[in-house]
Every structure is written in C-alpha cells, then in structure tokens.
A and B are shown apart, each in its own frame.
Chain A
C-alpha cells in the first residue's frame, strides 16, 4: 500500500480537477497522463525506434552474417574518427570507397561493418525479448490465476516451486539450464523464459488473492458462476495492469540476460550478430579496438533503458493509487 494518504490528499485538494476527470473514459485518462510524463515519452521513443529499425532492417540493409567478411578492412576504427589520409589509405587497401560516414561504428576482426551488425543484432534481442516474455507470462499468469484462486495444495506446490526458482539469481539459473541443454540461442530463450516465470506467478497470485474475496467476485460466484468463468471473466481483466507493467519491464531484463548468455558463449553463437556475442568478440581486442564492444554495449544500454522507462511510465499511469499524482 504505497502512499494512500498522499493520493487521498491530492484528490481532496483539487476538487475541480476531480470534476474534470469525471467526464473522461479510463483509457483517455490513462493516455493523457502517459503523454504528460516526460520519461515515459523518452522510453516510448527509444522503444519505438528500436522496434521500427529492427522491423525495417531486412528492407533497408539486408544482411547475411554467414557470408560477411572483408579481411582487408579488419579492425578499422569508426570512419569519422579517421583523418582523410587514413581513409584514403584504407580505401586503397580494401578496394572500397571509405568516406567519413561509411563505417560509423568501425569494423571487427573479420572486417564486418559494426553498424550493420549492431542494427541486425537488435532484431535478435527484440525477437528473443518478445518470445521469452510471451512464454513466461503465459505460463506465469496461468499458474498465478490457478494457485491464487484454487488455494490449497495447488497453491502450496506452486509457491514452493517458485520459491525454489527464485532462490537462484536469475542469470545463474539461466546459465545452469543452458549448461545442461547445450549452448544455443533457442536454449538461451528457454532458460530465460523459465527464469522469468516466478515474477508473473507472484504478481498474478497476489492480485487474485485480493480479488477473490472482493464483493463482485463473491457476487459472480453467488450467481452460480463456475471457476474458470469467474477467473477469466472477472478476476483476470482486473489483474491486467500490474501484469502489463511487468511485461514491459521484463523485456528489458530479457535483453540483458540474452546478451549476458551470449557474452559467456552460452547463448547465440558466432557469426550471429547478437550484442552479447559482439561484446565478447570485442573483449578479445579491448586494447586495440574498443569500438568493437562500445557500440553493442551502447545498444544494450539504450534498449534496456528504453523498455524500463516505458515500463515505469505504464506503471505510473495504470496504478490507481498514483492517480493524479503528477
């Protein structure tokens, strides 16, 4: 119960605002508050940028990592940091025209353009992020609804299992799972999905525990509503907002974990342009070619911050306790 008195005071203090609010729908109200939130807008902009760029990547700049090499361009620094003479020399060596902005992120050990790789790496991270969150939220929410509503031994076992899962730090658990299954992007996806399940179970379960005793649920039951009907028609829609927030926040977490597993050699495998794998490649050359790890690192940083800001903003908007706190 976060700051209920503050919220109450705000409502009491601005009666005219409260009157104005009464005329709008919940959706309108939420959107209005969202667009007034500057961090939320930044988060949305960054997130949208990543999603749009990832979707457009195959159209704007098709890329096949399995055939990409240009050994004469290897380890060239970002082209805008080079002098015109250095660019001319590199152009002659590599037999392509290197302009000021030809290789804005530089190249790696195989002479691959890091801009294209970081760009296409976004597709991998985003895809894994969405799939992992879809898997873990579906399983987690169903388990949460079931255990919260049914109580009894189902609840006991579920909570017990989730406690075990949560006893390990997420990344350690993911490493253990991938180590058992063998390193690959698919196994990393499975591992990360599993580590994300407990948070959904806990959130859903706690909401359901509160709602199942509420009057309208009791009423629905009294009217003869059967279990599944009550759960999916009455309880689930009302527990959506915390789940929505968790969805957005965990995409950020998943992107970070995929990169961590890739860095450790347990996730995506070369030559996939996955950000973690690229940082691992860069680590081998960090004295000689720091740009190899800087740019994928920045990409991870920005995308994770983007999703986290967005998630925070959605929470601010959807949390009824924070209503009218601006």
Chain B
C-alpha cells in the first residue's frame, strides 16, 4: 500500500513538473491557422510558423528571421533574401528557397495549384498588403525566383520600400510545402493543423474548446521555455480576468480598462502592456447612406461629441485621442492635428447649413465584442448617441454577430459604425493605405478621393523617408478636413499574467508575440 502511494506521489510530481503547460486566454479561438486575418488566429499561427523577417519582441525593429539578410537594388524593385541554413519544418522537410517561393506563389498567384481558392481560401491579406494578386492592376510582386538553395530573389512591378516590414507581418508565416500538398484544403483547420519551422509544433485543436501546441525539440534557435502551450478563447474580458484570478489561465489579454484596479489589487497578478499603441478605433461614416455623403453633416457629427471625455472615460490610462489614421510612432504622423473640438453650437450650425436644422435619424452600429482598439463597445456607442441626440441626430444603436459584422461593415449597410485596426507591421502604409488606398476593397467608407489615393500611391513607392512623411501628412490633412470617418483613440492594450510567468512581451503589432521566450515557474 505504502509503495503504491509513493509511486503515485512520484508520478504526480513528475506529471506536474515534467509537462509544464502555459495556458493563454485570448478573446476567442482561432478561425484558421492558414489564410487568417484575425488576431486570435494569428497569435496561434505565429508560434508554429516563422516569417522571413522577425520583429524585435515587444518592439517594431526588424530582425533576421528565416532570412538572415536582405537587400534591394537602387530602385527598390529587385529584392534578394539570403535564407537561414539548417532549418527544418516540423514534418522533417528542409527549409530552403524552394519552400519560400512555394509559399509566396501560393499567396500571390490566383491559379496556384495548392492555393485551394475554390475551396474558400482568399489570401485577402496578401492582396491588401501587396496591392493585389499576380495579374491584378497595381499588384506589386512580379516574380519570385530561386537563385540557389538559400537565395530568393523577388522582382517587383513598382518599388516598395517597406517590403521587409511587410514580410514581418504575422500574415506571412512560412508553411511546409509538403504538408500543404498532403493535407490539401483542410490545411489550417482543426482537422489539418499547420506545419512550420517555429519553436512550437501543432498537437491538437479541439474545435470550440482549445488549441494545444508543444515544444519543437529540433528548433534551430533557442528552444521554447515551456513544454506545452494551450490557447483558449474566452469572449468576455471580465470572465477572462476571473479565470486568471482563479489560476485556470496564465495570461489574459485585452482586459477591460475598468478592471485595472482589480488586477493591481491582486498580488498574484501583474499588469503587462505594450510599449506603443499601434492601433486605431474609429467611427466610420459610410457615404452610401444619406445624409452622410454630405461633408457638413459629417463635420457636424465630429464636432458634436466630446472625444476627450469619451476617450478619458472608456479607454485605458495612456490612451490617446486620435486625430488621423496613422498612429503616433510611425512616420508621417502629424502631431499638429488637434482632435475635433467639442462644439455643439458649431455642430448645429453645420447641420442647418447642410439643410438638416431639425436633425435626422440614422443608425450607429457597435461591435458585439471587445477589441484592443475599443475595449468596450456598447457603452461608447451609447455615450456617442447621447451626444448626437443633443444636436438632434437620432442614432439608433444596432449590432449583429461579429462574423457578419466584419463582412458587412464596408458594404454600406451600416451608416455609422465602430471598428478599428491593429498594426500588422510598423509602417503607415498598413494603416492609411488599407483605408484610403487605390486598391480594390479599400475600407474607405465610400469616400473616393483621387487626390488622396494619388498621394498614397506615391508615398508607398517613395524611398526617401522625409518625402514619404510629407506625402502622408498631406493625405491626412484632406481626410481630417473631409471626415470620411472619425478617428477615436489609440488604446494601450491591458494584459495581465500570473506572477511566475516571465518573458511575455505584448507587441505594439498585436499578434506578433513570440511565446518562445516565456517561462513559467509554479
């Protein structure tokens, strides 16, 4: 009997100490590990897959990744990447220029054999970062060419100075070509998993429950600090905090700023924030809806709300009232723009000049979830609606399922709506071009201004940083004056870990957080 007990205790101790597991509480489970654009998916994929270019943990500086060096010709149209040697995918396939080309062609070429575009994959992220797919007008990439085993050459149609930064985005992790060929269209789903070169390998994805990864023993660099990683999706920020307090998760991200005192008052928890707020929450004013196509009406809305008060009340400490679609810290940010002044009188005047002296009725759509750029959505929408009511605009509050919301937001179905953007890579192009660029599918709120698209096209090809900043500044001024949307805030995302979890460095870039460096002591 005693022998049995000793054995059991030993087993238990071994079980606890040996398989060290770190549980991550995000705001949702991944949608897919391949061809995803949402933060919850990308955070998981970023641990399995690796990019050609890395980002310094917790910062925005570029570092060598699967490519050790890169350079371009003088015009910025031919880029040469020298790849890391001795790297293998989790399935044993060697990483080389062929594998990198396979991935890039798969994203870029609509006819690529293993793209599975007929079966639902879209590679949308490639389109908006690289101006389109192969053959599209405005597409940046002309050709990817294997020079030798470890050298890849990219030829561009137009120069793109921030190409290495674009490749550091969590969208573009390199997958094992063998795995994609073998698994087919299921690659990236709970059934198919994902195979990369990262410090963690895919173990299991229980749909609707959790994703489990484990340390990859043959990782080319410093191996991961914890044995197993479990990702859970807990939609409600308060529930996430409650689980963290209970100890059932080790890291909780995107918590509510109202709970900061609770976290600070709990000796088991530590607050962790990113160094910069590279995100933006905005109110879109979609011009497919009368009378939002009227510039004076849009200006009236901008001046009707006390944005300082709203941001002070609902966003975290350190949140900045936004004035433009480029967050501070990126080139082209203009610190001379002031938030729209709170002036109900002026707002009423603008409305009556526009012919709406008695106001009008419209809808304000709010997100059903909390996101880094809007930690709470419905109370913010309620507050904005009361300000609008003060000048006679009746804004009915509406919401719908998050997936549908994301599909509908730029179709014109929502007259006024809340949404936001977190950086994929540290370049203004990732923000302002995504919204107001010339590419198909720009999220431009029905605002089509050739002067702006011209400036942005010019800026993305401009090699000189000062000139680029100048061009972005001009575009921001036009957008500021014509108010296609109202920038609301740049929010510091509030995360917390349990004491004993070290090395978790939230990124200003949202999902590019390497978990390799995290350690956990009980």
Contacts and interface: CB of A to CB of B under 8 A. Distances in A.
Given A71-B313, A265-B399, A281-B378, A286 B385 contact: no
Interface string A264-282: 0100011100000000010
In this complex, the interface size class of chain B, counting residues with CB under 8 Å from chain A, is 20 to 34
Interface string B39-70: 00000000000000000000000000000000
Given A71-B313, A74-B313, A269-B398, A284 B386 contact: no
Interface in B13-43: none
B379 interface: yes
A97 interface: no
B256 A66 contact: no
A74 B241 CA distance: 21
Given A66-B394, A269-B397, A271-B397, A287 B386 contact: no
B309 interface: yes
Contacts, number: 67
Nearest to B384: A69
B238 A284 contact: yes
B237 interface: yes
A66 B389 contact: yes
B390 interface: yes
B319 to A, nearest CB: 14
Nearest to B394: A66
Contact of B397 (A109, A270, A284): A270
A310 interface: no
A170 to B, nearest CB: 24
Interface string B350-391: 000000000000000000100000001011011101110110
In this complex, the interface size class of chain A, counting residues with CB under 8 Å from chain B, is 20 to 34
Contacts of A108: 379
Interface in A51-107: 66-69, 71-72, 74-75
A288 B310 contact: no
A285 interface: yes
A71 B262 contact: no
A69 B376 contact: no
B258 A271 contact: no
A67 B386 contact: yes
Q: Which 5 A-B pairs have the closest CB atoms?
A: A109-B379, A71-B313, A69-B386, A67-B389, A271-B382
Interface of A: 66-69, 71-72, 74-75, 108-110, 265, 269-271, 281, 283-289
10 contacts: A67-B389, A67-B390, A110-B383, A265-B368, A269-B396, A269-B397, A270-B381, A284-B256, A287-B262, A289-B258
Given A67-B386, A271-B386, 15 more contacts: A66-B389, A66-B394, A69-B382, A71-B312, A72-B313, A108-B379, A109-B376, A265-B368, A269-B396, A269-B397, A281-B379, A283-B238, A284-B236, A286-B238, A288-B259
